[in-house]
Structure 1
Amino acid sequence: MPDLFSPIQLGAIAAPNRILMAPLTRGRADRDAVPTPIMADYYAQRAGAGLIISEATGISRQGLGWPFAPGLWTDAQVAAWRPVTEALHAAGGRIVAQLWHMGRQVHSSVTGEQPVSASATISPGHVHTYEGRQPYEQARALDLDELPGILDSYARATENALAAGFDGVQIHAANGYLIDQFLRDGSNHRTDRYGGSVENRIRLLDEVTQRVVAIAGADRTGVRLSPNGESQGVDDSAPEAVFVPAARRLSELGIAFLELREPGPDGTFGRSDAPKLSPAIRKVFDGPLVVNSDFFTRDAAQAALDSGVADAVSFGRAFLANPDLPVRLRSGAPLNEGNVKTWYSQGPEGYIDYPALAEQEAA
């Protein structure tokens, strides 16, 4: 049975350990979604992860509504990402770009247009904007003739990610964003070939993955799903009936890895009483399966591997304050406490100033 520190092959990417860094939005780009120099320091500090999945990165202005999040649709963004990937590689790390279209989870004050989704729906609660928290806006349903453009945006972002030096990409199809809005019947009320049946609701995920695979190769393409329970107002009446066939199709496409975000009833950043679907997905997905959500200790992560369900574990918040997390997990050293107030702020505080264990021991 492998342990957390055993190497694993994730498609074409040879990961030296099974401690992956989950995608973590940090808000350190500029208003044009261009990465800033301190992002190179941030990622290089965390090069000890088996693989880093980048913060969610917009494929288009339409799809990126989070203030100060980065993008991959302009030449300036590509050029600014290159020093980040170069610094990470120089430190011995590996990184894939997570490709993001937020769908209805954006606000027109950020994107300059009405949100789009599978159907004309609205998210509950409030959205983060440059002007503070604002109520979500009514989304409009994407027309059939607009969907080829969405696919083109994913294709262009994939090309740009490779040009920027990323080792591959991950398609963000989780957490209530655009592809997830198509997958689940709580947000997809369409009556055309993208709605209704499970086969139809999986279609956009299938088509996006095929376009990305055609450019990056299946061995450099990952996907993230969140199959159990509601996420940002998006839910399904029979999730197993949707996500097991979706995982089976991704297995047929031969993707490098599948990551599942599955919060439990005691989660600290999202909770769900719905049963985890990773055991059922394990039966139909033949590639490496990565589990995520509320992993903070070596024992909990190792138990996920020992169960036979997971091949690797992606840690999120633990990596925020612990750039050398794999070292700390191996030695049993205590973890730094993170500062929630600086999760999404700009500048170096709470971003690149957390000490590594060696620094603390030398002090």
Structure 2
Amino acid sequence: MADVIFTPWKLGRIELANRVVMAPMTRNRADVDGVLPASAAEYYRQRAGAGLIVTEGTHPSAAAQGYPHTPGIHTDAQQAAWADIATAVHEAHGRVFCQLMHTGRIGHPSLLPEGGELLAPSAVTADLEVATFSGEMVPALEPRAMTTSEIRTTIDDFASAAERAVAAGLDGVELHGANGYLLHQFLCPSTNLRTDEYGGSPVNRARFVVEVVRAVAARIGADRVGLRISPGGQFNDMSDRGNEETYLALVDELNDDGLAYLHTLRGRTSTLHVEMRRRWSSTYVINTGYMGRSELEDLGPIVEAGESDLVSVGRLFISNPDLVERWRHGIERAAWDEDTFYTLGERGYTDYPSATQH
């Protein structure tokens, strides 16, 4: 049982070599047009030993960008860069899903097309600072509540981006419904004050996420679609505690849709996480969170106990591209350099050696 984390797993239509997922991590290496550099293919290729790679958050439209130098997948040039990444990962016998992320109220108009506005479920300003196009940190601005027409356009943007991801050769997409971004903003009663069909009750708060998931699944197949959530999460000025009924409504609504997986951010075990796991019939993934430890002795027992089918790991993959092999053979892990997490260039990106390169 101790080695179950290293065993294969069937995820939708693909086979994973092990139960370890490289968690999505923003790295801010794209150019001003949202195109990743050639070094991104090498970055992901180096980490293809993960059972599944989930890429950095990627904007499905120009209106969805919330940070400087994050990649998109809504233009031909962006798609071509992702095609190179898909080829590199597959040649290294890896699997890769692209995370689609609309940041909603978290962002700045300077990052958007001329005349673009910050859109969110409701006009609730985040109490934090956000980055401008130049990287300057300024207080967040009040977003505008989305019209139903804009909601429909955004749903179509997600579906079109998913089509591009699959056309680029990526194995599927993960929809980012966590960490205070647009999908999470619809789920959370502190950011969703709507009184129409997209707010006011657990089922209505879940409706936008359900419609995004189903629109994407209709274009690329449900078994190519994962969803990431963070129940109770407070990142990006969210107040999501006590919102269990919304997440149970979401799980109940989507459980029979045949999605590839549900990816849950879990700082600690709660009755909600246990209940979601019980109700979810396809692959279940746990990420123990940015503030928690994510070593083998922490994550192995989660899989062994059946609390999750897969476990996702973030920062350790930055400094240990061969993390799974290091764990498998008891090799010491390298430390990461946090100063290079979100900078341009290859330093702290593709220059961490594997254990065999030392």
- TM-score scaled by length of structure 2: 0.95
- Give the secondary-structure state (helix, strand or coil) at the position aligned to 1:78: helix
Specify the code of the residue in structure 2 equivalent to 1:359: Q
Specify the code of the residue in structure 2 equivalent to 1:135: P
2:318 maps to 320
For residues 233 and 79 of structure 2, the distance between their equivalents in structure 1, rounded to whole angstroms, comes to 35
1:203 maps to 207
- Where does the alignment leave 5 or more consecutive residues of structure 1 unmatched? 265-273
Which of residues 111, 115, 119 is equivalent to 2:118?
Answer: 115
For residues 152 and 348 of structure 2, the distance between their equivalents in structure 1, rounded to whole angstroms, comes to 40
Residue deviations 1:217-270, cap 9 Å, x none?
111110000013322112235221111221222212110111101224xxxxxx
The answer as to 2:103 corresponding to 1:93 is: no
For residues 99 and 20 of structure 1, the distance between their equivalents in structure 2, rounded to whole angstroms, comes to 17
Taking only aligned residues, the RMSD between alpha carbons, in angstroms, comes to 1.4
For residues 302 and 295 of structure 1, the distance between their equivalents in structure 2, rounded to whole angstroms, comes to 12
Do the aligned partners of residues 34 and 276 (structure 1) sit closer, same or farther apart at CA in structure 2, a change above 3 Å counting? farther
In the TM superposition, structure 1's runs of 4+ consecutive aligned residues that sit over 6 Å from their partners are none
1:65 maps to 66
- Give the secondary-structure state (helix, strand or coil) at the position aligned to 2:174: strand
The answer as to 2:169 corresponding to 1:171 is: no
Which of residues 129, 133, 136 is equivalent to 1:132?
Answer: 136
The answer as to 2:276 corresponding to 1:278 is: no
For residues 12 and 82 of structure 1, the distance between their equivalents in structure 2, rounded to whole angstroms, comes to 19
Cα shift at 1:276:
6.5
For residues 131 and 326 of structure 1, the distance between their equivalents in structure 2, rounded to whole angstroms, comes to 34
Kept in 1, the 8 Å contact 2:5–2:304? The answer is: no
Kept in 1, the 8 Å contact 2:9–2:19? The answer is: yes
1:352 maps to 350
2:284 maps to 289
The range that moved more, 242-251 or 165-174, is: 242-251
Kept in 2, the 8 Å contact 1:79–1:164? The answer is: yes
Specify the code of the residue in structure 2 equivalent to 1:285: W
The answer as to 2:226 corresponding to 1:222 is: yes
For residues 96 and 131 of structure 1, the distance between their equivalents in structure 2, rounded to whole angstroms, comes to 28
For residues 301 and 11 of structure 2, the distance between their equivalents in structure 1, rounded to whole angstroms, comes to 20
Which of residues 335, 340, 343 is equivalent to 1:342?
Answer: 340
Do the aligned partners of residues 341 and 138 (structure 1) sit closer, same or farther apart at CA in structure 2, a change above 3 Å counting? same
1:11 maps to 12
Cα shift at 1:296:
2.4
Do the aligned partners of residues 44 and 237 (structure 1) sit closer, same or farther apart at CA in structure 2, a change above 3 Å counting? closer
Cα shift at 1:295:
4.3
1:329 maps to 327
Specify the code of the residue in structure 1 equivalent to 2:217: V
Do the aligned partners of residues 348 and 105 (structure 1) sit closer, same or farther apart at CA in structure 2, a change above 3 Å counting? same
- Give the secondary-structure state (helix, strand or coil) at the position aligned to 1:283: helix
- Give the secondary-structure state (helix, strand or coil) at the position aligned to 2:179: coil
Which of residues 182, 185, 201 is equivalent to 1:181?
Answer: 185
1:270 maps to none
Residue deviations 1:177-200, cap 9 Å, x none?
001100110100000000101111
Specify the code of the residue in structure 2 equivalent to 1:94: R
2:160 maps to 156
- TM-score scaled by length of structure 1: 0.94
Kept in 2, the 8 Å contact 1:218–1:256? The answer is: yes
- Give the secondary-structure state (helix, strand or coil) at the position aligned to 1:42: helix
2:105 maps to 104
Specify the code of the residue in structure 2 equivalent to 1:219: D
For residues 154 and 330 of structure 1, the distance between their equivalents in structure 2, rounded to whole angstroms, comes to 37
- Give the secondary-structure state (helix, strand or coil) at the position aligned to 2:342: coil
Cα shift at 1:41:
0.5
- Give the secondary-structure state (helix, strand or coil) at the position aligned to 1:161: helix
- Give the secondary-structure state (helix, strand or coil) at the position aligned to 2:228: strand
